[in-house]
C-alpha cells in the first residue's frame, strides 16, 4: 500500500496536470476570434487613455467612471502594439492567470483538490469570464486581483504572516484601483474572515486600515467626481431601486444570454442539488459562507449602484469567480455522493450554455444597441487632415478608434473632452490650445454630436478666436478645421458692393504662405440696406494659372450672422481659413478671390461693373516649408 504522503503527491500531480490543461483551454478560448469584432466604444477609450502622457492618465481617470490601475498597465503594454489583437491580449493573459489562482483559492477554501480543478475549469470556460477576458478593459484585472485577495486571506487565516498580510493588502488595493465594484467581494472576503475567525478581528481591522490608507490617494483625487455621481442618485429610494434591478443582476450573474431556454434554471438546479448533497456532511457547509457573502453583497451592491450608474453585466465580473467556488463545491459534493452525478451535471451545463460559449461570447453584442463603424473617423481624417495638422476629439473613445488605425504619416491627435463621461472646463481646453499655438498648419475638431449641448461653448469659442477652414457632417460626427490667426497681415480697404445691399468694406489676410500651409482671412462686411435671402461667402485661392487650389464657403461669421440678420451700417467680422495643397510649387503667388452667392440657386451676386467676384490680392509663396 502507498503511504498517505505518496497518495497526496499523486493527487497533487494529477490535479496539476488537469490545471495545466485547463489553463491551455482558457488561452485557446480567449485567443479565438480575438481580433474581431471591431473595437467597442469603451475599448477605444482604453486605448486613447493609455496612449496619453503619464502625467495625464491619473487626472483623466479621476474624472471618469473607473480607477486607473488598468490604464497604467495598458500604458506599459502598448509596446506590444495598438491593434485590437494586441491590446486585447493583455486581458487574455490576466484571465488565463486567474485559472491557476481559482484552483488555489478553491482548494485552500474547501480542502478538496477536485473542487479546485472544477473552480479552475469554471474560470477557464464560464462565458462571462471569457467574454470580458477578450475585452480591452479592466474587468479581467479586477477578477484576478479579487481572487488574489481571497487567496492571501485564506493563507492569512491558516497561518498569519507578514507575507500573507502584505499580499492581502496589495491585492485588495489593486482590485479597488481597478474597478469600484470590487469593493463588494473585497468586503465579503473580510467579513467572511471575521465571522470564521472572530479572534482575528483586530488583525483584520489593521489589514483593512492599511488597504484603506493605500486607497486614500485615489479617493482624494476622485472625490469631486464621486460626490457628483453619488449626488445624482440621492433622490431615489435605495431599497426600491435595488429591488428593481435585482432580477437583472441575478440574470447577469447566471449569464444565460444566447443560451438554451432554462439555462439559468439548470445552473440553479445543479447548485441546489449540491447543497442538498452537502447536508450529508455538515462540516463542509461553513465554507459556503464565502461565496454566499461575495455573491450576495455584489449583486445587491451592483443593483443599488444603479442609482448613480446604469446596470451593466460587466460590473459583476469581480464576483463571478465566487459563483465558480459555489458551483465547484456543489459539483464536488455531488461527486462525493455518487461519482456519475459529476459528469452528468457537467454535461447538462455544457449543453445548456453551448450556444452562449460558441457564438454569443464572440459576437460581443452586450450593451451594443446601434450600428457603428469605428473606422469612420480615420477614413475621413486621413483623407482631409495632413501630417502637419492636429486633431482634437471631444470623446476619448473616438480618439482611441482613430489611434488604432493611425499611421506615422497621419495627423496626431489630442483631446478637448466635452461629452459624457467627461466635460472639461472650457478654460482648461483653451489653455491646452494656447500651449500649442503656432505648431500646426490646422487644428481639426472631431466632435461627436457636433455643436449640440456641452459642445456648443467650445464651437463658439473656436469660431470667435480661430479661422474656420472646413466643416462637414458625417452621421453623428461634425468635422471642423481651423487656421490660427496670422502674426503678419496685409490689409486693403475695399468698398466693393455685391448685389443690392452687401458691401465688403475691408479685408486682411496672411502676408505669405507655404506649400501645404494655410492662409487666414478676415473680411469686414456692411449692409447698405436689408438683404433678403440667406447668402454665403466664398473665398477661393487660385494658383498662377488660375486653377482653384483651395476654398472655403460659409454663412458669415461661422454661421452666426446670416445675411438676412445684417442691419444697415453694422459691421460684420467674417473669418475664413484656406488649407493649401502640399503639392503647391514655390516660389510663386496665390491669388485670393472673394464673393457672395445664393446657395439655393447657385448664382453669384454681381458687382456694379458686372464682375461676380473680387480679387483681394496676391500672397507670395516662399517655397517648401
- Domain with residue 572: its CATH number is 2.60.40.2550
Cβ neighbors of 593 (< 8 A, separation 6 or more) are 538, 539, 540, 541, 542, 613, 614, 615, 616
Q: Coil, strand, or helix at residue 592?
A: strand
Note whether 39 and 84 are within 8 A (CB).
yes
Residues 520 and 471 in one domain: no
Q: Which of 279, 270, 400 is nearest to 324 (CA)?
A: 270
On whether residue 65 sits in a domain, the answer given is no
Residues 192 and 286 in one domain: yes
Q: Which of 282, 350, 292, 280 is nearest to 326 (CA)?
A: 292
Note whether 482 and 445 are within 8 A (CB).
yes
Give, in order, the Cα–Cα distances in Å from 428 to each of 228, 369, 458, 481: 19, 33, 11, 20
Note whether 521 and 535 are within 8 A (CB).
no
Residues 384 and 496 in one domain: no
Helices and strands, counts by H and E, the chain: 22, 15
Burial class (CB in 10 A: 0-12, 13-18, 19+), 337: middle
How high is the pLDDT of residue 10? Answer: 44
Q: What is the Cα–Cα distance from 354 to 350, expressed in whole angstroms?
A: 6
Q: Parallel, antiparallel, or unpaired: how do β-strands 477-483 and 548-554 relate?
A: unpaired
Residues 471 and 503 in one domain: no
Q: What is the Cα–Cα distance from 198 to 436, expressed in whole angstroms?
A: 60
Q: Coil, strand, or helix at residue 397?
A: helix
Residues 255 and 279 in one domain: yes
How high is the pLDDT of residue 367? Answer: 75
DSSP labels for 530-583?
Answer: ---S--EEEEEEE-TTS-EEEEEEESTTTTTS-GGG--BT-EEEEEEEEE--TT
On whether residue 555 sits in a domain, the answer given is yes
How high is the pLDDT of residue 282? Answer: 62
Segments forming the whole domain that contains residue 437:
376-483
Domain end call among 324, 340, 363: 363
Q: What is the Cα–Cα distance from 347 to 172, expressed in whole angstroms?
A: 35
H/E stretch holding 410 reads none
Q: What is the Cα–Cα distance from 247 to 313, expressed in whole angstroms?
A: 12
Query: What pTM, to 2 d.p., does this model score?
Result: 0.92
**Count of residues in the chain:** 625
* pLDDT tens profile 95-150: 999 999 999 999 999 999 999 999 999 999 999 999 999 999 999 999 999 999 99
Domain end call among 341, 363, 385: 363
Q: Record the cell numbers describing residue 571, joined without a space.
A: 459691421
On whether residue 47 sits in a domain, the answer given is no
On whether residue 259 sits in a domain, the answer given is yes
On whether residue 141 sits in a domain, the answer given is yes
* pLDDT tens profile 73-92: 999 999 999 999 999 999 99
Residues 502 and 444 in one domain: no
Residues 345 and 439 in one domain: no
Q: Parallel, antiparallel, or unpaired: how do β-strands 418-419 and 422-423 relate?
A: antiparallel
On whether residue 124 sits in a domain, the answer given is yes
DSSP labels for 206-263?
Answer: HHHHHHHHHHHHHHHHTHHHHHHHHHHTTTS-HHHHHHHHHHHHHHHHH--TTS-TTH
Note whether 165 and 155 are within 8 A (CB).
no
CA 72 remoteness from chain centre: 14
Assign residue 193 a region (left: φ > 0; alpha: ψ between -120 and 50; beta: otherwise). alpha
Residues 513 and 479 in one domain: no
Note whether 83 and 35 are within 8 A (CB).
yes
Residue 80 φ/ψ, nearest 5 degrees: -80, -15
Q: What is the total count of domains within the chain? A: 3
Q: For 416-501, list the strands marked E by DSSP.
A: 418-419, 422-423, 443-448, 467-474, 477-483, 489-498
On whether residue 564 sits in a domain, the answer given is yes
Residue 406 φ/ψ, nearest 5 degrees: -65, 140
On whether residue 62 sits in a domain, the answer given is no
Instruction: Extract long-range pairs of 361-369: CB within 8 Å, 24+ residues apart.
Output: 361/127, 361/130, 361/131, 361/134, 362/32, 362/33, 362/36, 362/134, 363/37, 364/37, 364/40, 364/131, 364/134, 364/135, 366/131, 366/257, 366/312, 366/313, 366/314, 367/312, 367/313, 367/314, 368/40
Residues 331 and 355 in one domain: yes
Residues (pLDDT < 50) of the chain are: 1-10, 625
Residues 128 and 208 in one domain: yes
Residues 297 and 397 in one domain: no
Residues 264 and 394 in one domain: no
H/E stretch holding 593 reads strand 588-597
Domain end call among 416, 451, 483: 483
First to last CA, the chain: 88
Amino acid at each position: 500500500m502507498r503511504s498517505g504522503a505518496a497518495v497526496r503527491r499523486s493527487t497533487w500531480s494529477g490535479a496539476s496536470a488537469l490545471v495545466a490543461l485547463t489553463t491551455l483551454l482558457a488561452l485557446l478560448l480567449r485567443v479565438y476570434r480575438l481580433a474581431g469584432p471591431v473595437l467597442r466604444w469603451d475599448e477605444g477609450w482604453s486605448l486613447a487613455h493609455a496612449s496619453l502622457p503619464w502625467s495625464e492618465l491619473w487626472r483623466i481617470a479621476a474624472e471618469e467612471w473607473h480607477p486607473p490601475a488598468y490604464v497604467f498597465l495598458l500604458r506599459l503594454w502598448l509596446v506590444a502594439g495598438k491593434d485590437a489583437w494586441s491590446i486585447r491580449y493583455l486581458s487574455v493573459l490576466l484571465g488565463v492567470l486567474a485559472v491557476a489562482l481559482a484552483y488555489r483559492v478553491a482548494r485552500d477554501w474547501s480542502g478538496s483538490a477536485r473542487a479546485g480543478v472544477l473552480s479552475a475549469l469554471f474560470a477557464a470556460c464560464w462565458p462571462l469570464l471569457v467574454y470580458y477576458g477578450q475585452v480591452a478593459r479592466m474587468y479581467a484585472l479586477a477578477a484576478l486581483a479579487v481572487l488574489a485577495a481571497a487567496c492571501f486571506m485564506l493563507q492569512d487565516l491558516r497561518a498569519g504572516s507578514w507575507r500573507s498580510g502584505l499580499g492581502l493588502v496589495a491585492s485588495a488595493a489593486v482590485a479597488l484601483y481597478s474597478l469600484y465594484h470590487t469593493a463588494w467581494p473585497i468586503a465579503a472576503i473580510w467579513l467572511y474572515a471575521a465571522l470564521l475567525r472572530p479572534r482575528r478581528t483586530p488583525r483584520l481591522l489593521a489589514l483593512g486600515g492599511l488597504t484603506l490608507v493605500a486607497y486614500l490617494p485615489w479617493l482624494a483625487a476622485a472625490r469631486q467626481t464621486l460626490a457628483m455621481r453619488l449626488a445624482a442618485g440621492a433622490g431615489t429610494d435605495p431599497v426600491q431601486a435595488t429591488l428593481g434591478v435585482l432580477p437583472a443582476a441575478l440574470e447577469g450573474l447566471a449569464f444565460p444570454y444566447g443560451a438554451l431556454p432554462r439555462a439559468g434554471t439548470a445552473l440553479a438546479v445543479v447548485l441546489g442539488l449540491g447543497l442538498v448533497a452537502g447536508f450529508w456532511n455538515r462540516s463542509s457547509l461553513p465554507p459556503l459562507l464565502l461565496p454566499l457573502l461575495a455573491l450576495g453583497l455584489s449583486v445587491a451592491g451592483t443593483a443599488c449602484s444603479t442609482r448613480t450608474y446604469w446596470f451593466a453585466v460587466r460590473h459583476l465580473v469581480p464576483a463571478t469567480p465566487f459563483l465558480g467556488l459555489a458551483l465547484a463545491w456543489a459539483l464536488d459534493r455531488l461527486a462525493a455522493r455518487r461519482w456519475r452525478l459529476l459528469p452528468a451535471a457537467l454535461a447538462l451545463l455544457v449543453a445548456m450554455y453551448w450556444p452562449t460559449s460558441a457564438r454569443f461570447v464572440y459576437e460581443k453584442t452586450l450593451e451594443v444597441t446601434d450600428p457603428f463603424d469605428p473606422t469612420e473617423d480615420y477614413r475621413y481624417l486621413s483623407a482631409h487632415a495632413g501630417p502637419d495638422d492636429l486633431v482634437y476629439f471631444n470623446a476619448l473613445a473616438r480618439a482611441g478608434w482613430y489611434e488604432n488605425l493611425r499611421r506615422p504619416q497621419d495627423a496626431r491627435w489630442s483631446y478637448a473632452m466635452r461629452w459624457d463621461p467627461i466635460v472639461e472646463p472650457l478654460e482648461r481646453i483653451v489653455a491646452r490650445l494656447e500651449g500649442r499655438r503656432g505648431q500646426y498648419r490646422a487644428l481639426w475638431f472631431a466632435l461627436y454630436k457636433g455643436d449640440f449641448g456641452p459642445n456648443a461653448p467650445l464651437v463658439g469659442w473656436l469660431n470667435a478666436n480661430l479661422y474656420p477652414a472646413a466643416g462637414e457632417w458625417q452621421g453623428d460626427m461634425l468635422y471642423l478645421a481651423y487656421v490660427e490667426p496670422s502674426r503678419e497681415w496685409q490689409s486693403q480697404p475695399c468698398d466693393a458692393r455685391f448685389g443690392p445691399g452687401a458691401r465688403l468694406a475691408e479685408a486682411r489676410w496672411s502676408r505669405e504662405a507655404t506649400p501645404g500651409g494655410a492662409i487666414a482671412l478676415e473680411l469686414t462686411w456692411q449692409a447698405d440696406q436689408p438683404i433678403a435671402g440667406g447668402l454665403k461667402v466664398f473665398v477661393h485661392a487660385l494658383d498662377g494659372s488660375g486653377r482653384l487650389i483651395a476654398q472655403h464657403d460659409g454663412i458669415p461669421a461661422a454661421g452666426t450672422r446670416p445675411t438676412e440678420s445684417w442691419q444697415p451700417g453694422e459691421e460684420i467680422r467674417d473669418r475664413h481659413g484656406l488649407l493649401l495643397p502640399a503639392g503647391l510649387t514655390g516660389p510663386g503667388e496665390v491669388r485670393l478671390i472673394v464673393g457672395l452667392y445664393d446657395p439655393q440657386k447657385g448664382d453669384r451676386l454681381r458687382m456694379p461693373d458686372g464682375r461676380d467676384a473680387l480679387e483681394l490680392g496676391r500672397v507670395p509663396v516662399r517655397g517648401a516649408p
